Amino acid sequence: MRRRVVITGMGAVTPLASDLPGTWQALCEGRSGIREIDGAHNAVRIAGQAVDFDPNTALGTRTARQFDRYTQLALVAAREARAVAGLPGRSGDERWATVIGTGLGGIGSHERAVLALAAGRRSGSAYTAVAMVPSAAAAAVAIESGAQGPALAPGTACASGTDAIGLGADLIRLGRADVVLAGGADAPVGPVALSAFNAVGAAATGDGDPASACRPFAVDRTGLVVAEGAAVVVLESAEHAAGRGATALAEVLGYGSSNDAHHLSAPAADGVAATRALRAALRDAQVSPEQVGYVNAHGTGTVLNDRVEARVLAGVLGARTPVSSTKSMTGHLMGACGALEAAVCVQVLRTGIVPATRNCHELDPECAGIDVVRGDNRAMDVSVAVSPSFGFGGYNAVLTLGRA
C-alpha cells in the first residue's frame, strides 16, 4: 500500500509579507508586492522584493552573514513551517529529509564577489564559496533542523519548488523518510539577473504603475516581474503525523514531471510535454480532470508561456476549472514560485477563497479557453487543486493537492 503524504506546516517570505498568513491576506485583498527599484544600472526598474525582511533581525547578525540572501529566506520560511507543524527545534533524526530547490542559488554572493575582485580586492569572503552554491539552502535547513536523511537541491529553473515538493513526497512514499522539509528559495533581484531576463525578452521593465506591471493572460501583458522569496512546507507520512497528533492541512495526492526537450528558454508551443506532466500528476493522484476545482497557474505574464499554459489547461481540464495567477501580485519568485503557489492552493482548499488574477482586464483571445478568475475573488468549495510550474530548459512539474 502506498504511503499517504500530508502537509502539516507551511512558511513563506515574499514581497507581500515575511510570513505565510500575511502573504495570504495580501493576496485575498488584491495587494501587490511589486515596486519600483533603483534602475540606474539596468533597464528593468521594477521587482518584487521582500522589503519587510531583515535577515539580521530574523536570524541574528552572526548567522545571517554566513549565508546568501536566498538561504536566509529559506531558513526563515522553514522555521515558520516547522513551528506551524509543531516539530521540535532540532531533531537529529535520519528519518527527516530536506529538499530545497532554487533557480539561481547564491547569485547575489557571486555577484558581490565578482564586483569586489573587479574593484581590486585581492581575495573574496571566506563565506562566498559555500554561500553561492545551489545546495546551500538545503544544507542550511538540514543543519538547523538536524535532519540527517537525504538533502537534495533540485535546480530545475522555475519548476524547482514544485519538483522539491514532488520529490519530497516521493521520499516518503518510498519509505526513505517520515518528515521532509520541502520548498524553494531565490533572491535574484540584482543587476545580473535583471539584465539577463531583460536581454532574453522575458522581463517587464516597469513603464507606468509597478503594481500593474504583471498581467498574466491579459492581452496587453509585457512580461514577467523578477521577484525574491522562499516557501517551505512540512511533508509527513499520514501515519507519522497522526502518531504525534499533528493536524494535516492538505494532502499531496500526485506529482508529474517532464521536459519539452525543445529549447533552453522558450516552451514548446505544442504543449505536449507539459500536458504529459499534468496528466501524470492527475493519474498519480487517481483524480479525474472533472474533480479538479482550482488551478493556481504558472501564469508568468509572458506572451508565449501564458498561451501554451492556457492551451494545456484547456486541453486537459476544459473551460470549467477556475484558474488564477498570484504572480500578478507577488511577481515571479523563480525557484520558489512553485512552492509558494502550492501553499496558496492549500489555503484555497482550507478556506474556499480563490484569489483573483490582478491586472487581467482584457483576456488574450488565445487564452480564452480557460476560466481566468478576474475582478473579485471567488468563494468556492474546492477539494482538489492543481499547481503547475514550467521553467527555462523545458522543465514541467505539476502537483495535485487535496483537502485533508
Decide: 231 and 245 in contact? Cβ < 8 Å.
Answer: no
Residue 361 designated active-site: no
Report residue 35 as a C-alpha cell: 515596486
Q: What share of the chain is helix, strand, coil (3-state, %, to 5)?
A: 40, 20, 40
| CB-based contacts of 267, cutoff 8 Å, min separation 6 | 260, 274, 304, 305, 308, 390, 394
Gap between the Cα atoms of 257 and 119, Å rounded:
44
CA atoms within 13 A on the CB side of 377: 17
The residue from 110, 214, 240, 298 that is catalytic is 298
Q: How far apart are the first and last CA of the chain?
A: 19
The residue from 110, 214, 240, 332 that is catalytic is 332
Decide: 48 and 229 in contact? Cβ < 8 Å.
Answer: yes
Amino acid identity of residue 160, one-letter, is S
* Gyration radius of the chain's alpha carbons: 19
Residue 41 designated active-site: no
Residue 28 designated active-site: no
Catalytically active residues, by annotation = 158, 298, 332
